[in-house]
Structure 1
Amino acid sequence: MSRVASRVVLMSAVLSLSACGYFDSRTAHKAQLAMIGMTSNDLQACAGAPDKVTTLNATTQLYQYAYKPSSTGAFSVNPFGLGAVSVTGNGSACTAIMRLDHNQVTEVHYTGDNDKMIGNDGVCTPLIRGCMRQPESTMRNVNGGPFGPVSAFGSPSIPAQSQSAVWSGPAAVLPATSTPGTAGAPA
């Protein structure tokens, strides 16, 4: 095998290994649409009990799921002594944060060092994989073929939230800067 052919085979192998990040990222982003409307019971049936629950108000909770892979997939090769080629691998952790209002998922967010070589948020896929492989009845059906309606490189738009999901009390009252009859003098 010639030196050029060896390089082509090596680069093809590296690109093939990294391509799985593209599909993981698309799956994570598709879940951000498909899981909207899902009930709390169905979410826990396919994703498990959350690692942490934060109550925002009487109707809204945040469920957090954490994932830290044991390996990031980084490696180096030195084909034929021509110099090392390093592949940086994947992100090191993901936290999925799901907002539930009236016990239904209204938002799915990912945070952390969670990108793969190709695509964003791909490290998060194990957190939602059970739900995406075996969808629950309260999940949305998200179609669009192999290239739609989501991208591997960005999350879909966040749906508008109900007032009960974002508001937790009366508006803040600002302190008065003057009292009546003092013509703007500080109080």
Structure 2
Amino acid sequence: MRKPFLLATLLTLAGCGYSDSRMAHQAQINMEGMTAVDLQSCAGVPDKTKKIDDHTEIFTYNLKNDSSGGVEVTLPIVGGGYTIGGSGSQCAANFRMVDNKVAALFYSGNNDRTVGEDGICAPIIRGCMRRPQSSMIPLDDETRALSSGFHQPPAPPPPPVTAAPVLSDTTVRMPTVGR
């Protein structure tokens, strides 16, 4: 009787981690193209911003949990205990903004759940995913099929590099006039 109850409890807890991880990965798809105004209206003001060039800026949202969860077993060894089945405790969600629109969303930190990757990051984007903004890619079956709780979706292509104009041999050069 105790084994089925324990198994059901573990599966329920694992499902919570998977759904958070899948939501975090779904956001990497659906938040692409979102305006900076819409992003800040649903996720709040970023903790840090970094201007890369005239068109590109990074918005970083940080989350730190005091406890990482899991079962803690203390063995009589130097250093205390050992955590079994715990999850991460911190996430940095980095939004690459190009011309004030989300071009990509990347997660970093100790952010994996017991089941699934990047699940600790879900609270950062949860408001945007629960109430999608008009500038987001619509949540539909096609975009849902691209997300998983176990791996991130493919990264979007990098922005095009604009080269400086090259002067050709036929370019007319004006002589400089001295005084």
Tell me if TM exceeds 0.5: yes
Q: Which runs of 5+ in 2 are unaligned?
A: 74-82, 165-179
- 1:158 aligns with 155
- 1:150–1:156: 8 Å Cα contact kept in structure 2? yes
Query: In the alignment, does 2:108 pair up with 1:115?
Result: no
- 2:43 aligns with 47
Give the 3-state SS of the residue equivalent to 2:5 in structure 1.
helix
- 1:88–1:117: 8 Å Cα contact kept in structure 2? yes
Equivalent AA in structure 2 for residue 45 of structure 1: S
Q: TM-score, normalised by structure 1?
A: 0.76
State how 1:27-106 maps to structure 2 within 5 Å: 27-76=23-72, 87-106=84-103
- 2:20–2:120: 8 Å Cα contact kept in structure 1? yes
2:19 to 1, 5, 23: 23
**In structure 2, what is the Cα distance between the partners aligned to 1:109 and 1:42?**
18
Q: TM-score, normalised by structure 2?
A: 0.80
1:137 to 134, 137, 151: 134
In terms of fraction of residues, the more strand-rich structure is: 2
**In structure 2, what is the Cα distance between the partners aligned to 1:128 and 1:24?**
10
**In structure 2, what is the Cα distance between the partners aligned to 1:110 and 1:64?**
10
Equivalent AA in structure 2 for residue 59 of structure 1: H
Identity of aligned residues (%): 40
Give the 3-state SS of the residue equivalent to 1:22 in structure 2.
helix
Equivalent AA in structure 1 for residue 118 of structure 2: D
Give the 3-state SS of the residue equivalent to 1:62 in structure 2.
strand
Superposed CA offset, 1:86-121 (max 9, x none): 742210100000000000000000001100011100
Deviating 4+ runs (over 3 angstroms): none
- 1:33–1:142: 8 Å Cα contact kept in structure 2? no
Per mean C-alpha deviation after superposition, the further-off stretch among 155-164 and 49-58 is 155-164
